[in-house]
Amino acid sequence: MLVDKLISKIKNYENILLMVHVEPDGDTLAATVAFYIALKSLGKKVSMVCIDEIPKPFLFLPQIKNIQKDILFGDFEVIIVIDCGDLRRTGFPERLKKFAKVFKNFINIDHHPKNDLWKIANINIVDQGASSASEIVWEILKKLPVELNCDIATAILTGIYTDTGGFKHSNTSPKTLEIAAELLAHGARLKTITKNVSLNKSVAALKLWGVALSRLHKNQYLQIVSSVITRQDLDDCGATYYELAGVVNLMNSIPDSKAAILFFETPEGNIRASLRTEKDSVDIGKIAKLFGGGGHKKAAGFTIEAELKLNDTQWEILLK
């Protein structure tokens, strides 16, 4: 089995790099941190890397401050990427392709649909039916000779909690709840997770959410709810891009809508779209793929070269 092959590699190698995807969310961070703690307990030389800053809500995770922004890939025998939808989102696409080709020790752990990472990975441990990458990592860790302590359990539960929207999304399966119960039995600190993830909104974030909600538009024909945030909005509210997390999920709670899309300007001047749906009949992953993006059937995103024209609550996006 592939998991057994992964465990064999872990046992045989000493220098391991864990990679977090760009614009990190709770799942990639939590699963990586949990893996890091477990590997360190085995006496391995382990490092974590993420090209972007860590969002404030996840700074409570154990060992999170050990994540580096850059690192020499050649110092490692194997690289493990966790919860990454495609090669570009690793933040190091060309360097990673070169490492995989030369060393042939690249492992992909994920729950996203098949993508270009699968082509260069030597081992793909993917379960599209899992609620999160954290759920997959938990099953791997249970096969390792490590103590599944409260830090590991808290990290894994954080990843599951965030990717299921606090167990509200349709990807919450019976197995997911069984694993959550296991994690609580191992000392996972659910109160700490909810305090930091769900109950940790700054004044700036709430102002930004208010701007997004004030621009809500519903296309009655398509039954799609949309809104937009500009870079100027961030400046006016004193907020960061990370404080947009959760807005599109709130938009998606509007009755009789099939999907929600939040558009926002990136620092590079492009437009990023975040899509969500709870409808089984809608596959927003396919919509995102049309624009060069990707993701899951019910949570996806894409970036396009476009400009935003905004007039009060009226707005339009024009392709460059």
pLDDT of residue 313: 64
Same domain, 49 and 123: yes
The answer on 162 and 80 residing in a single domain is yes
Among 163, 197, 231, which residue terminates a domain?
A: 197
For position 312, what pLDDT does the model report?
Answer: 67
Whether 16 and 73 map to the same domain: the answer is yes
**How many whole angstroms separate alpha carbon 82 and alpha carbon 138?**
12
Domain of residue 249, residue span: 203-319
Q: Cβ(112)–Cβ(88) under 8 Å?
A: no
What is the average per-residue pLDDT within 258-269?
92
Same domain membership, residue 141 and residue 85: yes
Using a pLDDT cut of 70, give the percent of the chain over it: 99
pLDDT one-digit tens code per residue, 196-243 = 998 888 899 999 999 999 999 999 999 999 999 999 999 999 998 888
Q: What is the pLDDT of residues 114-130, one digit of tens each?
A: 788 888 999 999 999 99
Q: What percent of the chain has pLDDT over 90?
A: 69
- Report CA dihedral (207, 168, 133, 150) to the nearest 10 degrees: 90
> 117 and 150, same structural domain?
yes
**Residues 145, 247 within the same domain:** no
Whether 189 and 59 map to the same domain: the answer is yes
Question: pLDDT at residue 294 above 90?
Answer: no
Q: Is residue 40 over pLDDT 70?
A: yes
Average pLDDT, the chain: 92
Count of structural domains within the chain:
2
- Specify the CATH number for the domain of residue 112: 3.90.1640.10
- pLDDT of amino acid 298: 87
Flag whether pLDDT at 159 surpasses 80.
yes
Residues 215 and 253 reside in one and the same domain: yes
| pLDDT at 88 exceeding the cut of 70 | yes
Of 175, 197, 219, the residue at which a domain comes to its end is 197
Single residue among 145, 180, 197 that ends a domain in this structure: 197
